[in-house]
Structure 1
């Protein structure tokens, strides 16, 4: 699935092209009723791309990846094109798509029918509004920004994802303690203490506690040592683990609160 971040990055990439190029490229894949103009090009592209299906956008993206040389030749300075292409490529990688040999490939076949986890997580955080939800969302965004930076800072991407997970776990533990004041205490600055408290309180199982502990270790500096796997893919994997665990903690707490 194509995230909102990638959709806006694609709009930014196309905005540097001549209007006729964008109109032709989008119309080629049945994007109808285009009314792009120089006066409001960026906003028009934002609105048009935002509403397209994933299948349509993947076709557009596949052509872009296959024809970057042709698209680059009319852009001056070339650095502008290269910067926007880098951002688009990194956004796609966050979604699980790899640009390789002028082809757009899935890093994981399972992502084809999966909803964009980050978009759904941020929406759920805003709707449920745990005490530190804005700080958590900021760390998720900081993680993505570090991943997309030039050059990418994959350690910072993982560190920010880990902090987001840790902060949400602290909020969940505080909510459990309020709902069940007799469940004991924990040290909010200690990851081990927080997840042990969640386990002892019945919020999560022992196996879920082990899973959270494993993901946290994976995200810690120096813990992941890729062998034969590119660093960017290891960083994407770790970040995906963190976001999925955030989603689990949040949805599990909401469910437990209702029971």
Structure 2
């Protein structure tokens, strides 16, 4: 399973409300940590091991664990958060089992974590702003605010494109619209015409008020649109690192 750090943290929060003995036995059962002494050990284990089998058991015996916790709403809140995080990562809980929504490759870093890593290692001037927008998009999704989820994802992409456009614009026109900024990247050979067209179509697709395609739930559509935006953010940041940090433009 390719889980983001967000999902792993959510799992830690869920496990933290269990009795310590329950948690230790669960981790020992799957050899995730050989000497579980306290919750700090458990948290460290969560971030460094394959948790697929443990998660499968948690899902299968969810009601058993819930019955042992009072008040019940504490479990329900943490479980809902964990379930939403899993869904963002491409895993759906259905009929007491976990189903992969799309193909994944074991050992590959979760995509959103790759994007965050690329941002952190870049000289991009607004990387903290973009990271915050990505997190706000995820939080909105978990709160079932799907319009806000897509809005924050769209603004992440727009922020990246407009910031780079301003940097390569000799007139330094900071008031460029999304369309003008995207066009600027193309005229300056930062992206191709096909890439410009694709980005423009994606931007329109995830804009507020877009029609949800037949067969999609609102939740599925928000996840799909958000992932598309994140993939384009990743693509543009990679190109930025190649062209700006690679020497084609001055850093900013």
User: Which residue number in structure 2 is paired with residue 51 of structure 1?
Assistant: 48
Report how far residue 31 of structure 1 moved.
1.4
Report how far residue 211 of structure 1 moved.
1.1
Aligned residues of 2:59 and 2:98 also touching (Cα < 8 A)? yes
1:214 aligns with 2:201: yes
Higher helix share: 1
User: Which residue number in structure 2 is paired with residue 71 of structure 1?
Assistant: 65
* C-alpha separation in 1, matches of 2:202 and 2:84: 23
Report how far residue 114 of structure 1 moved.
4.5
Q: Deviations over 1:133-167 (max 9, x none)?
A: 11111111100111112xx1111111001111100
Q: Deviations over 1:57-86 (max 9, x none)?
A: 111111111111111001001100000000
Q: Secondary structure at 2:124's aligned position in 1?
A: coil
User: Which residue number in structure 2 is paired with residue 62 of structure 1?
Assistant: 56
1:167 aligns with 2:159: yes
* C-alpha separation in 2, matches of 1:100 and 1:76: 25
Aligned residues of 1:172 and 1:249 also touching (Cα < 8 A)? no
Residues 1:112 and 1:105: Cα distance change in structure 2 (over 3 Å): farther
Q: Secondary structure at 1:128's aligned position in 2?
A: coil
Aligned residues of 1:136 and 1:167 also touching (Cα < 8 A)? yes
* C-alpha separation in 2, matches of 1:198 and 1:175: 10
Report how far residue 189 of structure 1 moved.
4.1
* C-alpha separation in 2, matches of 1:114 and 1:96: 14
Q: TM-score, normalised by structure 1?
A: 0.89
Aligned residues of 1:89 and 1:99 also touching (Cα < 8 A)? yes
* C-alpha separation in 1, matches of 2:16 and 2:157: 35
User: Which residue number in structure 1 is paired with residue 33 of structure 2?
Assistant: 32
1:125 aligns with 2:119: yes
Selected match of 1:155 from 147, 152, 164: 147
Aligned residues of 1:162 and 1:219 also touching (Cα < 8 A)? yes
Where does the alignment leave 5 or more consecutive residues of structure 1 unmatched? none
Selected match of 2:219 from 232, 235, 238: 232
* C-alpha separation in 2, matches of 1:66 and 1:35: 23
RMSD after superposition:
1.7
Q: Deviations over 1:172-201 (max 9, x none)?
A: 212333xxx3xx776644111111111111
Where does the alignment leave 5 or more consecutive residues of structure 2 unmatched? none
* C-alpha separation in 1, matches of 2:199 and 2:47: 34
